[in-house]
Chains A and B, each alone.
Chain A
Amino acid sequence: MLLRLEGRVHSSEAGDVAVNIRLLQRRLATLLPEARTAGAENTLELGFQSNDAPRLISATVLEGGTLVAREVRGTPEPGFRAFLDGTQRSRVATYVGTSPVVHGTVAAVVRERRARRMETWGTPLVQSRLYVPRAMMQSSTWSVLRAEFGPLLVDTTDGEADVTSHPLALRDAAIHRVQAHREAVEQRLAEQWCTTESDALFVDGGISGSEQVAQSAHAVGVVKSHRTLYAEGDALGVVLSLNVGERSSVFRITSSKRTTVASWYLRLRDSAGHDPMWGLVRAEMALPGAEGMPRIGELADERCRWLLAEVSPLALPDARWDKMVYGVRDCEEFLRAIQ
């Protein structure tokens, strides 16, 4: 099985040179003798601080008039056939002057559960790109890189109104683009699933980024990060004081750039002794049509039962194990293994 995967992974569009940072660094040293190769630094994601400020957003409640805590009806039961997650890894390959040239690799996989064992569904995606701030480069340098890496070369200053030469800002810009790339490959796999399969897919993260996925009845997105909370005032207190096995009322998330989806909060684990967001996830599913809207609570309960069934086995030793299900950890481990 792995041999088959390896062949597929290595034949990804990134090509062998781009996949391997060491090879890439050697190549860059040849192409750009004036460049200064970076040392063995950690991945940039480790030191990356999101610029998104925590915020509260009021959302339209779809189930009843106000957002309240509701006990999930029924007993937990496995309902997901597969799990989708992606990873990203960025490292500075070299510096041209003071500008970092970042090597970013993204990967995504769907891991399917068969007879309680996880196997790979379809073809996992692994892609690499070279992120370069073109505005900080001489045109000759850019030309050399363009000739060598072609479509794998990404300009991190493209479309930026305010370009700064601060190396950290340039690195952050690269990371944002790597992140966007990861989301793109995740969405590609999710769309493939929603097109070909008729069972439920657990998507790590939101599903509103892809219209096809956001409108599919087979995808459930699970968001672990709560820098944006869709509750204000009393509703915020309701969300943060949910007991284990309780969910919030379903509400609608609307965005100009994203597809509207139905969402709710669910407490997976008892947060006693922990911070209020411990074991708290936000689930997303396709917004039902008018005929399905009266049953939206039932649909949310069903998804909650599926989610609560995934609390075991634990995703330890991952630090996010209170919110992460084991299937997602398995995806991450798989991607770590094949990269």
Chain B
Amino acid sequence: MASPVLGRVVATENRPNTPHEFHFWTALDSPVGIGTVVRVDGRDSANGVIPRVFGIVTEGFSWTDLASPLHDVMGHDGQPGGQTLSPTERAEIRLYTAAVLRHIPEEPLQPVPMGTVFLADEADVAIALRMDGYLKEGSRTGIPVGVYRAGGTDAPIYLDADFLIGPEAAHLNITGVSGLATKTSAVEWLLQSIFTHFPEQKGSVAAVCFNVKGPDLCFLDLPGEIDDNDRMLYAQCGVSPTPFADVQYYAPYKSDGVALNTLRSNEALLENVTPLTWGLREVLQYAEVLLNKDDIDAKADALIDFIKENVLDKRFSDSMLERPHTVTSFADLDAWFKDVLRALEKKDDQSWRTHHVATIRKVRNRLSNISLRCKGLVADDGATSDLPFGSFQDRTVYVIDVAGLEEDAQDLIFARVVTKLREHLEKRDLGVQHVVVFVDELNKYAPSDGPDTYVRKMLLDIAERGRYLGLVLFAAQQFRSQVHRRVVGNSGTALYGRMDGDELATPGYAVLSPAIKTKLATLEKGQLMVRHPHFTQPVFVRFPRPAVMRGRDGVSKYPAAQAPTLHSAVLRTLRQFDPGLTLGWLQDVTQLATDDEILRARNDIVRTRPTDVRKVFSAHFRAAVAPRTAARPDAPAPLPSAPSDDPYGF
């Protein structure tokens, strides 16, 4: 059935139509609104073809035949309530401005012709947004991002995987005010959509998500509450309303080194939670992350390089030192520094191997400080428990919970993980071909102003080169205008949730019409404005709530475990490798051990993952002598009694 006429294109000398913009009027009760996609059927043919133009409504106007508001006041004797007495409503117009999405035929590109306006149906929306190019059977690369809804038309909106995950373009940026823009929910939904629709022929994809606040991403593998409307959206987008099937969690220990520093610490959920601990080697590679420019001058840098090249993981000997050193941990490094400084003091010398004593002291101070600032993440003993670089699994989410960490530790984790991802992707040995890295609070990590930190440089590098490697950045922030221009500028796809008025007043939003800005400032939860390379204009979509348990629901249902004792915490970790272990066995084995020795043994088990956990763990401790009951010695032979006639006997 032919769709009803919605409006008519109009143009005046003062308000002409152009190839990129046109105007049309509608009936007063038409379902048109800002963001509605419409189709114009031209009246006259060009080159034998009746032109069709697709547009999206960007502005609306309404007026009556009143020449002056005063006339209306006079007409009602200054009584606003008198309006209801008027038998006639004034003639009124609804005039809309639409931005052109597409001309068919594309050439010759002419001003939008006079014609009849129709609501776009689902097929029209696909053509208007150029989605028809990547929704063809056999070469389909569409990733549903939500559903366009207007005037009774429901049409799934697809992003092109080639432009979302790469290699043509890549990266996604989402912005909006806290709490209302549903940035995290949008990314969770989109990841579900990617995992469902990412084409097999394009390879494998995984996601690494940094949980930077509260329990936001801590329950992605548990079902959440959704309603019928959400289910309908899921159905329209062809995504199953289920939580993520494969999620792995990583969290450092708290500063006591016993309990994991995550809100996902409930006993029932620890099955897929892995400690994240790094040793000296891992940290020293990224010392730059933790040391600011004041710390690292050329001299200090030279000393750190010397340590990395000549001391770390090698047997280092020097005639001046008391003994050879093999530095594999912060404790070893501190011992090495002490030996060097002691030797200098003994010789009363100011430099050692061209390094001034003040530089040595400074670097020692800064590096030693790292293990304190990042306690829980950095192990003194060099133990390492890391993400499975090299064996990443397809369609798996790896969540790294850094919410409870100091800023330095967050930076360190972020820098190292992303760098490792990049290294492995460059070598094509990560395990998957594409990784989506989700980073929230980009205002903090890649601000447009402030110091040029390692993390920001790294984010810039991903934004500019990541698409060639399959390293894709999904970033979120509250204020897009305050994020480095090259980071947001390289994001092929941009999502906008509810926006702050001040933010919308910044120059970056000047291209949006006042009506679009107003809509952005009042967007409901679950609505987004989408910009994508194929879309010549932004389009508004609705997306379902992610079918995963919300953070606060998870915390309520699975409250964080009480601070465990050392033994129970260690046992919990070891049971992941050997569920048959008991607390009694652990207590027996560690009877004579210090807390540090127990933790070191645990870290070794986590790092090496031996098949015989009991044997390897026990081997770390001195054998305790089993208590034995002393055997009663044989009774000595009774002394012979004195002769009865012995006068001295008694």
Contacts and interface: CB of A to CB of B under 8 A. Distances in A.
Nearest to B92: A117
A106 to B, nearest CB: 22
A316 interface: yes
B27 to A, nearest CB: 8
A182 B592 CA distance: 117
Main secondary structure on A side of the interface with B:
mixed
A118 B71 contact: no
Nearest to B82: A312
A294 to B, nearest CB: 30
Contact of B87 (A78, A316, A329): A78
B81 to A, nearest CB: 12
A312 B81 CA distance: 13
A311 B87 CA distance: 9
B82 to A, nearest CB: 7
A309 B84 CA distance: 12
Interface string A303-330: 0000001111110110000000011011
Interface in A105-135: 113, 116-118
Interface in B593-629: none
Contact of B90 (A113, A309, A313): A313
B557 to A, nearest CB: 54
A118 to B, nearest CB: 6
Interface string B59-100: 000000111100110111000001001111111000000000
Contact of B72 (A113, A313, A333): A313
Given A2-B8, A3-B8, A333-B65, A316 B71 contact: yes
Given A2-B8, A333-B65, A314 B75 contact: yes
Nearest to A337: B91
Name the interface size band of chain A: 20 to 34
Given A116-B88, A117-B89, A327-B88, A317 B82 contact: no
Nearest to B8: A2
A317 B87 contact: no
Contacts of A311: 75
B546 to A, nearest CB: 45
Residue in A113, A312, A326, A329 whose Cβ sees the most chain B Cβ within 10 Å: A312
Contacts of A327: 88
Residue in A2, A311, A327 whose Cβ sees the most chain B Cβ within 10 Å: A311
A75 B563 CA distance: 82
A329 to B, nearest CB: 8
B75 A330 contact: no
Contact of A314 (B74, B87, B91): B74
Contacts of A116: 86-89
B94 to A, nearest CB: 13
A220 to B, nearest CB: 14
Contacts of A313: 72, 75, 86, 88, 90
B75 A113 contact: no
A245 to B, nearest CB: 14
Interface of A: 2-3, 76, 78, 80, 113, 116-118, 309-314, 316-317, 326-327, 329-330, 333
What are the 8 A-B residue pairs with the smallest beta carbon separation, nearest first?
Answer: A78-B87, A317-B67, A314-B75, A316-B71, A312-B86, A116-B89, A312-B75, A313-B75
Interface of B: 8, 28, 65-68, 71-72, 74-76, 82, 85-91, 116
Given A2-B8, A312-B82, A316-B75, 6 more contacts: A3-B116, A117-B89, A118-B88, A310-B87, A313-B90, A316-B71
